[in-house]
Amino acid sequence: MNYAEHNKELNNTLLITEKLEMKTVEPVIFTKADSALLKDGKPFFVPDFMGRIDYETELVVRICRLGKGIPVRFAHRYYDAVTVGIDFTARDVQKKAKDLGRPWTIAKGFDGSAVIGEWVDKNNYDDIQSLHFHLDINGNTVQDGFSKNMFYTVDEIISYISRFFTLKTGDILYTGTPAGVGPVHVGDHLEGWLEDRKVLDFHAR
């Protein structure tokens, strides 16, 4: 819930956008198991028994050093690479969990639900908060994001998470999805772009 328009398209899950802009609502955080990771262009096998599966394209950073209680002003030292990833979400399962007040673990953390693209050294870019990224499905752009539109910056997210979890080298942080999420279908060809560089390319089976 790190982009206003995505919050709206999911029926204002965080309720009051103005509060977000004033930074009075904390970020929504969840974790995925390491078995959720899908990389190297391997196909995503749609778990049709879970109902609707939505793609959520996100800017992703890679943690490069151990950290706990990291101040925002030092957070930029704790990641060294950036890419585009997809947080696949079992939307029907998530809705049921929300309605019952239960965790999202199954809806967010099932096998293959964390697709990751090719890493790019963050020093290739002047500002991590001025990056454009987008997802194409079957040649058509379905999501288009700009990191400047985040409610919480990458550095703020890292600082917040490190209050509760010790960050370790190799940890992967997804930073939220812009508007345009939708269902993935068997046979879809998904391509993720970071600026003008294609970093993600795989098929749904």
64-116 pLDDT, tens digit per residue, is 999 999 999 999 999 999 999 999 999 999 999 999 999 999 999 999 999 99
110-130 pLDDT per residue, tens: 999 999 999 999 999 999 999
Q: What are phi and psi of 154, to 5 degrees?
A: -55, -45
**Residue, of 14 and 46, whose pLDDT is higher:** 46
Pick 19 or 61 by higher pLDDT.
Answer: 61
Q: What is the torsion angle, in degrees rounded to the nearest 10, for the CA atoms of residue 159, residue 148, residue 145 and residue 59?
A: -30
Distance in angstroms (rounded) separating the CA atoms of residues 48 and 174: 24
- With 0-12 CB in 10 A as exposed, 13-18 as middle and 19+ as buried, what is 158? buried
